[in-house]
Amino acid sequence: MKTDFFQNKHGGISQYQKEIVDFSANLNPLGMPGSVKRILNQAASWMETYPEQDSSRLQHRIAEHFKLPSEWVLCGNGSMELIYLLPRLFKKPVAVDFQPTFSGYVNAFSADQGELVSESFLSNRSTWTLPKKISFSKQTNFVFLCNPNNPTGHLISKEELKKLARLCEKRKTLLILDEAYIDLCGLTKKASFISEIKQYRYVGILRTFTKSFAIPGLRLGYLVGHPSWLDKLRALQVPWSVSPLAQVLGERLLKEEKYLDRSRKYLKEARTALVKDLKTISSIKVFDSKANFILARIVSGKSSVYELVFFLYKKKMLIRNCSSFRGLEHGNYFRVCIRKQPENKKLVQAMKEFFSE
């Protein structure tokens, strides 16, 4: 039984499926900040003007926010635009990533006729640790690492990241750290590697506003890195990449520290409660997570993840079938994002019903 007909490739529902409670998209459960809704009420007039061609004002604000020179920041139409730009830095791009992880990296390199070699977190499925040896070749241009990782939810420590960064510096290989979920990982903003970025020439950090502020319909992301290679990437970007609305909202969202603090506090409590409730279901194994989503696996052998997804969909709930992640194709893995507590309780109750049948 396939379930792709009602689920987007990367999880999430469309604007035409509002009746579904979506546990498949890893968005902030508190929704958009009130400031976003107020700005949207004024948005019509901005559609009559061109945006800044290079988002220079927003770029400056982001750099100021992180105490960096402006030229260390590049804004994009979501982090996906920037991921797809990166392979174009080299004639024959070759990258390493760590599976299971976000498929956008391999898709970007495939689209640009590049090569992506995958390492594995699967040597230890309890902690999802980095491999001791990485398959670098002389041709390797990039290393991609999602932190916290999607879909496993684990967080690599700064000490481990520093070791990897030093290795990439030595080899003059770009280490791209994707921090799409770092704002929601239950720690303070100190978890980000941006505080270390100025020490490294060959480290880039991807960030997005989408997950932190629950605005997937407004495409806005940015890349932080050394100007020696970031300026080359900037030259490859199409003009007017970021809409005027996204640029204005980006500036406002940089000020939403209290909202993020409140979100982290809520998620820490809700994650603990949801993991505890899910672990009462003996038919599944639940993996610990530092992110705003949880990975689990059906271990009973009596049911498939396709059947579970379809059962929940009939009850107007959608979880993420993880069989599209390399390394998780055959293990009946699924991912649930953390939502409001009553919705989380409803999901657990429905899953108990499924496994008791």
Q: Which of 172, 237, 160 is nearest to 203 (CA)?
A: 172
Separation of alpha carbons 189 and 205, rounded Å: 14
Q: Residues with Cβ < 8 Å from 31, sequence gap 6 or more? A: 214
Ordered per-residue pLDDT tens for the chain, 357 residues? 454 545 555 555 554 456 788 888 888 888 888 887 777 766 666 666 777 888 999 999 999 999 999 999 999 999 999 999 999 999 889 999 999 999 999 899 888 777 888 777 655 666 788 888 887 888 899 999 999 999 999 999 999 999 999 999 999 999 999 999 999 986 666 789 999 999 999 999 999 998 999 988 889 999 999 999 999 999 999 999 998 889 989 999 999 999 999 999 999 999 999 999 999 999 999 999 999 999 999 998 778 999 999 999 999 999 999 999 988 888 899 999 999 999 999 999 999 999 996
Determine the pLDDT at residue 34.
Answer: 81
For the beta sheet containing 320-321, the strands, ordered from the edge strand earlier in sequence to the opposite edge, are 284-286, 293-298, 333-337, 320-321
Q: Which of 331, 330, 305 is nearest to 319 (CA)?
A: 305
Q: Which of 90, 75, 66 is nearest to 142 (CA)?
A: 90
DSSP code, position 315: T
Instruction: Give the CA radius of gyration of the chain.
Output: 20
For residue 78, report the phi and psi dihedrals to the nearest 5 degrees: 80, 160
Give the helix, strand, coil percentages of the chain, each rounded to 5. 40, 15, 40
Determine the pLDDT at residue 120.
Answer: 73
Strands 221-225 and 203-208: antiparallel
Determine the pLDDT at residue 5.
Answer: 46
- Cis (ω within 30 of 0) for the bond into 131? no
Tell me which H or E stretch contains 163: helix 158-171
Q: Residues with Cβ < 8 Å from 288, sequence gap 6 or more? A: 153, 154, 275
Token pair of 333, please? Answer: 């893995």
Separation of alpha carbons 335 and 120, rounded Å: 19
Contact (Cβ atoms closer than 8 angstroms) between residue 108 and residue 86: yes
Determine the pLDDT at residue 312.
Answer: 96
Residue matched to tokens 């000490």: 159
